[in-house]
Structure 1
């Protein structure tokens, strides 16, 4: 019995997804497979998605199998909100995985990263020794289906990656050709983000790695490197901060930005600040800022830095009312503390916001792709059903074979060698004719989900145990 436990942007809130994503995905297949009623487990944990595919003992129905899966999830996940996982059984689970692998269930329909993530999930389970023949076959068919859809539809062109979508949204707010960017993280998403930033004309890019791997990334990609001791200053200086780390804690928060701004207070050279014409305020020249309307002076109480230092009634010569700093959080769990939204002049764009702006699906390509997924799922289910009755068909054939051999032995004792050969030819032909209809009928019943009827029938008629 195949069971999928799924939580994604379509059926779970961001908090639940974040909690699930903090579980150790490398250890989870083993934890799930430790359940006495689970024969195999594969865990797919990605941005916006957490799924577990389980091979549960076949002598239970879908309701019992779902209960077993939930019990295994509670034991394996503990406090990581296993209750957010929704169960899918048998053909629904297969169709869902095929659809996921093809990118049809992603925030951005057709994105290509998920196919590799599905393949890596199977490889991880294989290394852990938690797969089963049924799960191996399921994931192999998922990859085959994904490749077929990619080659036969335009779905990959209809969709775009999370990174591209996030930066497309950001492009409506800033001109990357005249923007200072701080990239936080050095993983695969960081590489993709850097390529997309450059494609949009960004040239002033620095990288900071909270795990201290930024220097090598910076050298290999020919960008600036920010030492951890300078992180606050760099964060406050950036017009755009893009975070994409696997850290399980916040790497950017209000305290970091505030500390960095304090270091820039003497010159007011931070995003959100602009010089009022003729003010003579000593702001660093040549500092790039996003385009904004002509600023106006604010009162002393408007200034987030100098409210306590200006003379009573004096005006700060800096415009502080413009949202000039954009923080893009592409981490799951979150890389950015939501409290940054309360920092003056900061706008936060996170995955939850990004998914709300995902473009409409390309209907023709998507419909064609979903049709291919349904057909692939039906083929997989037929194959699974035939696999379930296969041992029973083999047992029936062996039963007839044994009866035929006994009859041939009897003929051999009474007749000549020529008579024995003629009898064997006739009996083997008759056995084939006799077994043809039960074999076809077994597969028909299996395709209808009634393989138990066939197993019960041959048990009742021939005394063949339910071995499938």
Structure 2
């Protein structure tokens, strides 16, 4: 098994290419289904946000998995397969885990520490689980990543800052206008639009909402004490507001110098959408435009203490990988215990044939004694192989155990501890560093590679 991640984001590509690779939820789900249908790909999850498109695979062939992802991404980006490496990064095994944890923690975002990523990842994972394109490997990776992301948000300074893309945009506009008392129009009704509307309302603005589905606009407007606006009234509504915030994910521009016409225009437009909702020519009408491009240019201006967050993520990556390596020996441990149990039963059958007069009580005593001997003989090897496999030693201790005890062909493929036979439950529930090990998934230690 190889865990593979392909990332096109604000650091690897310009916003135009990001816009071309951006996908709505339905398109992301179709791509995940397509990938799972490819040879050597077992699981897939696609994550597409305003500043990234990422694909995660569980594949048994690295190059086959990479090709399965590269072709559709290159096609969407409008580049050749050979040009794609210029626009993306590829991570596998340990590097993929590290990238995923940092991403969900908000450390790889356009606005470092932003917390919307948690909801976006949770939604992508939920879709993958619902569509059955994810399985044990991806589920465990992202469930752990979400827990790590929550820790970063609750335990570090960047989480305490409560940052979002909107907060960064408002910070960029600091001193140019006063939110309190302003009339604001939020276009869109997704998670980001909802956050924008609530943030502006909390800061004292009057907030109205527009969306293609009027019912969604009505729900959001009711939440912030505003009114809902139909999209066919958008042009007139834009002109009536001081501030417009857009985040629809529409395929074309909703607001431009042409739609503004010669009449009144808003003072500020904040475009948080990818692809952009607003044409940059609105600045010719005296509109102050803040969009993802301007936020990207201002990236890194804030001095944030991210060291504690990176340290926490690094600790969690190390613990996750150690646990994965220890889990990988579970089938071997189960096979060893079953072999020992089989030897005991074989000897008991031989004993019954040779001593037919043996009564039940004596037979039970002998059976228990043989089980205790077998347990004592295999206890240290099974405990040590878990301890050693959980460390950084490159030796494959499970392979050594299989060779020493001739276990080839005996291993049991487990996707969940409940799959263990009763006599092997203890092998699965043994602890590594005091923590019960979950379902086995092997992730080897590798680095970032080129697409």
Short-chain TM bin: 0.7 to 0.9
Unpaired runs of 5+ residues, structure 2, are 414-451
Alignment partner, residue 284 of structure 1 = none
Cα distance in structure 2, aligned partners of 1:231 and 1:46: 24
Measure the CA separation in 2 of the matches of 1:135 and 1:386: 18
* C-alpha RMSD of the superposition: 3.1
Q: Deviations over 1:105-142 (max 9, x none)?
A: 22333322211221111110011111111212222212
Q: Would you say the 8 A contact 2:214–2:229 is kept in 1?
A: no
Q: Can you list the C-alpha shifts for 1:217-274, whole angstroms capped at 9, x where unaligned?
A: 58624435555555444444544332111212111123212xx21xx3xxxxx35xxx
Distance in 2 between residues matched to 1:408 and 1:208, nearest whole Å: 77
Question: Separation in 2 of the partners of 1:94 and 1:31?
Answer: 23
Aligned to 2:281: 339
Corresponding residue SS for 2:345: helix
User: Which structure has the higher relative contact order (CA within 8 Å, separation 6+)?
Assistant: 2
Residues 58-97 of structure 1 mapped to structure 2, 5 A cutoff = 60=61, 65=62, 67-77=63-73, 79-81=75-77, 83=84, 84-97=87-100
- Given that residues 411 and 423 in structure 1 are in contact (C-alpha distance below 8 angstroms), is that contact kept between their aligned partners in structure 2? no
Shift of 1:182: 3.8
Alignment of structure 1 residues 14-413 onto 2, 5 Å: 14-22=15-23, 24-57=27-60, 60=61, 65=62, 67-77=63-73, 79-81=75-77, 83=84, 84-177=87-180, 179-203=182-206, 205-209=207-211, 216=218, 220=222, 221-224=224-227, 228=231, 230-236=233-239, 238-257=241-260, 260-261=261-262, 264=263, 270-271=264-265, 325-341=267-283, 343-358=284-299, 360=302, 362-363=304-305, 366-413=306-353
Maintained 8 Å contact 1:241/1:326: yes
- Say which of 380, 404, 411 aligns to 1:437: 380
The alpha-carbon deviation at position 189 of structure 1 amounts to 2.5
TM-score by length of 1: 0.75
Corresponding position of 2:406: 462
Change (3 A) 1:14 1:135: same
On the 8 A contact 1:210/1:251 being kept in 2, the answer is no
1:424 aligns with 2:426: no
| Equivalent pair of 1:101/1:114 in contact (CA under 8 Å) | yes
Deviation for aligned residue 1:329: 0.8
Larger Rg: 1
Unaligned runs of 5+ in 1: 265-269, 272-323
Give the TM-score of the pair, scaled to structure 2: 0.77
Instruction: Say if 1:389 and 1:446, in contact at 8 Å, map to a contact too.
Output: no
**How far did 1:419 drift?**
6.2
Q: Could you list the per-position Cα deviations for residues 417-457 of structure 1 after superposition, in whole angstroms to 9, with x for gaps in the alignment?
A: 57655543443233223223332343213644747453265
